[in-house]
Structure 1
Amino acid sequence: MTKRTKLLIAVSFPIQFIAIKILASYPAFVETYYSNGLYPIISKIFRVIFGWIPFSMGDIFYTIAGILIIRYIYKNFRLFRTEFKRILLDTYIVITITYFAFHLLWGMNYYRLPLYKSLELDRKYSTEELVNFTERVIAKANTIQYQITQNDTVKVEIPYKTSEILDKTGNGYENFSAKQPQFTFTHRSLKTSLYSSFLTVMGFSGYINPFTNEAQINRKIPVYKFPVTASHEEAHQIGFSAENEANFIGCMAALHNDDIYFQYGAYNFMAWHCLREVHNRNPEEYERLKLTLHSGIQKNYDEVRAFWTSHKNPLKPMFKFTFDQFLKANNQSGGILSYSYVVSLLVNYDKKHTLVP
């Protein structure tokens, strides 16, 4: 790469940054021309290229990138004092190219129209509406838990292999998109991550690789969490970057799946998030509702809590803080708390479409 080319790339970074900030002020434009225009083409191409490969190519690319970075540092560490301008320019260029690729291949979805607007939903809801919805969700979760186990004190265990669970996610999207075409999903590219142990240390259940459009699942998490987690990451694949929106879409895909274990995962997920929000608004109602939950469902919650507790480590808060700042820098003002905002979408979607009879 010539020095002139390097300088041109370096100069492009502030231009990119300003352009993205301007586009962020026009979510309807991003929605029309990127999220429903350019991005679906890019996304489908990458899923076709990498989807058939049984392991994560994105994780392989990250490994190679890590090796190259270590090699570069090793070769240039002693030269930093004499060639610091070249080294800083090289670093700046890598950051600039990565920044451009991230936004072109996936990241601009952070600036699309909020989902509640495209679905024409209310944004607010009353505590009474929340409690009513939570009561119905718990009743349905109890029914399905008992239907599976024939005992309200037994936790649900999914009898499928991981590959079978991942294969079944498509059915939920097919059924849900029949009602909401914007969630149509084709060419699955869903895999367990080669770095599942590292994801566990970081405290994450999965992630979307923005450079290969592969959905990654932490294979170490409790298996009953796989249906909603996998569907959540696929929601990212089809262009919904916001965590609360991916939570909602993933939950809806699992809920509309013909498989009863996916349906249980969805109701279990909804009950947990709704109970947390009830606790925030009305602790007395929370205590009342919690007593109506089958102990078998509570055992599933305890299983997840025990898993993450057993993997506590001093680095986890740092990773969480970093991801929180990343979300805030990408149009999610609530940061990591935005995961829980899914309750607003659930309650207001139910008001309009009677999600839970």
Structure 2
Amino acid sequence: MWRKKNAWLVLIGLAISIKIFSLFPDAVEKYYASGIYPVISKLQRILFGWLPFSVGDIFYGLVIIWLLYKLYHTTRRIVKRQTNKKYWLHALLQTAFVVVVVYVSFNLLWGLNYNRRGVAYQLGLKVERYSKNDLVQLMQTIVYRLHALDSPSRVNRQALARKRNLFDGAVSAYGQLAHNETKFTYSFQSVKPSLYSYLGNYLGYTGYYNPFSGEAQVNTTVPLFVQPFTTCHEIGHQLGYAKENEANFAGYLSAKSSQDALFRYSVYFDLYSYSRYYLYAQDSITAKQLDAQLPAGIKADHRVLREFVKKYRNPVEVIIDKLYGEYLKANEQPGGKLSYNEVVAWLVAYYKKFGTEAI
């Protein structure tokens, strides 16, 4: 009884301390994101990165099995009328204990990165509201890049169907970026195919980061031209860029630094879609004019992606999307799923500082 009480006191004390600490972004950036977290993440990658399978995925699978068992056990007791006030109080305390443990573990291992100053602060970018002209200028530059990359990106595209080439290519891209920006140095590789890739097609995810194992997982069953940017995005999470727009921007900076044309194509392909979402809402005519300027190969890839998404669309995906959007909102991303698209603001700020040739 005394041990349980002490455990509760320690956990609650840690949870309160984490919450208070998270209110000070400068402190989080200096002491956690740039101090404690890099050590934690490297240790995780050293421990699990060498394994050919995802430890985090196995952990998630075991958690789901445990939850299903608990649900079955509780349902059975209810049916047999074996529950009482004491049982439900004990169950409530157990659940609360698990929730607090997960909250503390999640934040100490990675989650506090949601409260850091972030990549715009590190690069000295002035991220602000942008105009339609800014957006059009950005998209014109992206269209220009896609024209240049359309043919080269198809020469040896199938080579990235081999997962090792894909993952090594992403690590190499970060290596190229780190020559000029050492803050993006990525050591001790830990990028793996998701054990639940096919399930991901129905749930609508292309990749995810596991904060409990430090592994980046990629859905390797989605169209090949999507995978390079997804891989770079997930490595961005490993480097401590928790918010989706920031992980997208880290993924962009690395993928565009790659010597592989398909990596560069992959990032500009996605960025065009993100930018188009906002332009179409303001000026659908201009958006369609830019669409018409895209090479035939890129239009074909867009059709392939649309058909892929359509093939796996289902009611469960809508629910998962909604839940994930709420998760993002609870973690300093009020835009929910649109947080991914918000990388556009970073891109505009980037070209305003370094010029459109830097895009």
TM-score, L = length of structure 2: 0.91
Q: Which runs of 5+ in 2 are unaligned?
A: none
Q: Which residue of 2 aligns with 1:153?
A: none
Cα distance in structure 1, aligned partners of 2:263 and 2:154: 15
Q: Secondary structure at the match of 1:315?
A: helix
Matches within 5 A, 1:328-347: 328-347=329-348
Task: Identify which range, 70-79 or 300-309, moves more after superposition.
Answer: 70-79
Q: Which residue of 2 aligns with 1:140?
A: 145
Q: Which residue of 2 aligns with 1:69?
A: 67
Amino acid at match of 1:277: Y
Shift in alpha-carbon separation, 1:355–1:35, aligned structure 2, 3 A = farther
1:266, distance to aligned residue in structure 2 (A): 1.8
Cα distance in structure 1, aligned partners of 2:23 and 2:153: 48
Please state if 1:106 is matched with 2:104.
no
Q: Secondary structure at the match of 2:339?
A: helix
Give per-residue Cα distances to partners, 1:94-150, cap 9 Å, x unaligned: 111111110110101000004222221121233222212211210110121034459
Q: 1:251·1:269 contact (CA, 8 Å) conserved in 2?
A: no
Q: 1:121·1:348 contact (CA, 8 Å) conserved in 2?
A: yes
Amino acid at match of 1:186: S
Shift in alpha-carbon separation, 1:292–1:76, aligned structure 2, 3 A = closer
1:67, distance to aligned residue in structure 2 (A): 2.5
Q: 1:80·1:87 contact (CA, 8 Å) conserved in 2?
A: no
Shift in alpha-carbon separation, 1:112–1:149, aligned structure 2, 3 A = closer
Q: Which residue of 2 aligns with 1:164?
A: 165
Matches within 5 A, 1:167-182: 167-182=168-183
Q: Which residue of 2 aligns with 1:54?
A: 52
Q: 1:10·1:89 contact (CA, 8 Å) conserved in 2?
A: no
Q: 1:9·1:96 contact (CA, 8 Å) conserved in 2?
A: no
Q: 1:252·1:266 contact (CA, 8 Å) conserved in 2?
A: no
Please state if 1:39 is matched with 2:37.
yes
1:16, distance to aligned residue in structure 2 (A): 4.4
Shift in alpha-carbon separation, 1:141–1:7, aligned structure 2, 3 A = same
Cα distance in structure 2, aligned partners of 1:10 and 1:91: 13
Q: 2:12·2:100 contact (CA, 8 Å) conserved in 1?
A: no
1:199, distance to aligned residue in structure 2 (A): 1.8
Cα distance in structure 2, aligned partners of 1:6 and 1:69: 22
Q: Secondary structure at the match of 1:179?
A: coil
Match of residue 22, structure 1, among 9, 20, 35: 20
Cα distance in structure 1, aligned partners of 2:136 and 2:159: 33
Q: Secondary structure at the match of 1:356?
A: helix
Q: 1:206·1:217 contact (CA, 8 Å) conserved in 2?
A: yes
Q: 2:138·2:356 contact (CA, 8 Å) conserved in 1?
A: no
Paired residues in the alignment total 350
1:14, distance to aligned residue in structure 2 (A): 5.2
Task: Identify which range, 238-247 or 74-83, moves more after superposition.
Answer: 74-83
Q: Which runs of 5+ in 1 are unaligned?
A: 151-155
Q: 1:123·1:344 contact (CA, 8 Å) conserved in 2?
A: yes
Amino acid at match of 1:65: V
Q: Which residue of 1 aligns with 2:299?
A: 298
Cα distance in structure 2, aligned partners of 1:158 and 1:248: 26
RMSD: 2.0
Matches within 5 A, 1:84-233: 84-124=88-128, 125-149=130-154, 157-160=157-160, 161-233=162-234
1:18, distance to aligned residue in structure 2 (A): 3.8
Cα distance in structure 1, aligned partners of 2:56 and 2:143: 38
Shift in alpha-carbon separation, 1:9–1:280, aligned structure 2, 3 A = farther
1:331, distance to aligned residue in structure 2 (A): 1.0
Shift in alpha-carbon separation, 1:341–1:70, aligned structure 2, 3 A = same
Please state if 1:234 is matched with 2:235.
yes
Cα distance in structure 2, aligned partners of 1:269 and 1:186: 26
1:321, distance to aligned residue in structure 2 (A): 0.9
1:74, distance to aligned residue in structure 2 (A): 4.0
Cα distance in structure 2, aligned partners of 1:173 and 1:149: 22
Shift in alpha-carbon separation, 1:355–1:20, aligned structure 2, 3 A = farther
Task: Identify which range, 40-49 or 272-281, moves more after superposition.
Answer: 272-281
Cα distance in structure 2, aligned partners of 1:336 and 1:7: 39
Shift in alpha-carbon separation, 1:45–1:148, aligned structure 2, 3 A = closer
Amino acid at match of 2:248: N
TM-score, L = length of structure 1: 0.92
Shift in alpha-carbon separation, 1:320–1:7, aligned structure 2, 3 A = farther
Q: Which residue of 2 aligns with 1:351?
A: 352
Cα distance in structure 2, aligned partners of 1:5 and 1:94: 16
Q: Secondary structure at the match of 1:208?
A: strand
Cα distance in structure 1, aligned partners of 2:288 and 2:27: 45
